[in-house]
């Protein structure tokens, strides 16, 4: 399975404006992925960089494939069949209402929410294709679409101050494309979330989590 690319933070000299970006709510959880093909169905599951944590039945994350099968597998497979895809990798967030910076509370109910798809040709879907194919389905939990905006420093400041309606807690992810039609991404976090993480984990460890 292909690892999900790291999303740069919208800070400093590396900041890049994205005209007409598609902006989505960024859920605070653990990134996971599942792979499908027309012959075998959903046959491979894992976290962002590894499969070990979900294949071990004693792992905390062994719940992820079961949640995926219960909540995402069927509606996703129907779309992929209808679109006549031969294979796909889907990326989703495993999270609970009490999750914070990738740490989870055992008895807190968990959810899985789709946020990106690698298509049958091995390319990430463009933001409009992802939204039109997956984001408009009421039976498919998908990252909340917050609208199309010009991704500027001013907009990022609004995110930090908690002024963007529809943000769950952590912040947002912006997706656009360059002149080569390559998908580009950026993320911004709320100050309230940053302060929660530092209060929970301390200045040193908290700062590392915030900057990850």
- Tell me if 3 is assigned to some domain: no
Q: Is residue 202 part of a domain?
A: yes
Spatial contact of 117 and 91, defined as CB atoms under 8 Å apart: yes
* CATH number of the structural domain spanning residue 124: 3.30.470.30
Q: What is the pLDDT of residues 15-64, one digit of tens each?
A: 889 999 999 999 999 999 999 999 999 999 988 877 666 666 657 688 89
Cβ 68 vs Cβ 32: under 8 Å: yes
Question: What does the alpha-carbon distance between residue 114 and residue 116 come to, in Å, rounded to a whole number?
Answer: 6
Q: Which of 142, 166, 201 is the last residue of a domain?
A: 142
1 compared with 178, residue with greater pLDDT: 178
Looking at the fold, whether 108 and 191 belong to one and the same domain comes out as no
Which residues constitute the domain of residue 83?
Answer: 28-142
Distance CA 167, CA 24 (A): 8
Same domain, 42 and 124: yes
Indicate whether 204 pLDDT > 70: yes
CA angle 137, 128, 170 (to 5 degrees): 75
Number of domains forming the structure of the chain: 2
Kindly report, residue by residue over 73-88, the tens digit of the pLDDT.
Answer: 999 999 999 999 999 9
Q: Are residues 62 and 136 both part of a single domain?
A: yes
In the prediction, which pLDDT does 56 show? 64
Residues 22 and 55 in one domain: no
Select from 142, 171, 187 the last residue of a domain.
Answer: 142
Q: Is the pLDDT of residue 146 over 80?
A: yes
Range 91-103 average pLDDT: 93
Residue 51's pLDDT is: 66
Q: For residue 1, is it within any domain?
A: no
- How far is residue 76's CA from residue 36's CA, in Å, rounded to a whole number? 10
């Amino acid at each position: 399975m292909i690892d999900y690319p790291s999303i740069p933070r919208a800070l400093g000299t590396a900041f890049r404006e994205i005209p007409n970006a598609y902006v989505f709510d960024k859920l605070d959880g653990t990134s996971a992925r599942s792979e499908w093909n027309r012959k075998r169905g959903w046959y491979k599951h894992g976290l962002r960089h590894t499969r070990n944590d979900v294949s071990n039945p004693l792992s905390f994350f062994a719940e992820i494939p079961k949640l995926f099968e219960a909540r995402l597998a069927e509606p996703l497979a129907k779309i992929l069949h209808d679109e006549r895809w031969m294979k796909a990798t889907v990326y989703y967030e495993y999270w609970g209402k009490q999750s914070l910076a990738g740490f989870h509370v055992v008895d807190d109910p968990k959810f899985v929410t789709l946020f990106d798809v690698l298509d049958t040709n091995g390319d990430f879907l463009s933001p409009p294709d992802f939204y039109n194919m997956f984001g408009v389905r009421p039976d498919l939990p998908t990252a909340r679409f917050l609208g199309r905006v010009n991704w500027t420093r001013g907009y990022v400041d609004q995110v930090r101050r908690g002024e963007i309606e529809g943000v769950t807690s952590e912040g947002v992810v912006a997706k656009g494309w360059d002149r080569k039609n390559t998908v580009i991404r950026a993320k911004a976090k709320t100050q309230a979330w940053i302060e929660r993480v530092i209060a929970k984990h301390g200045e040193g460890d908290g700062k590392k989590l915030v900057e990850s």
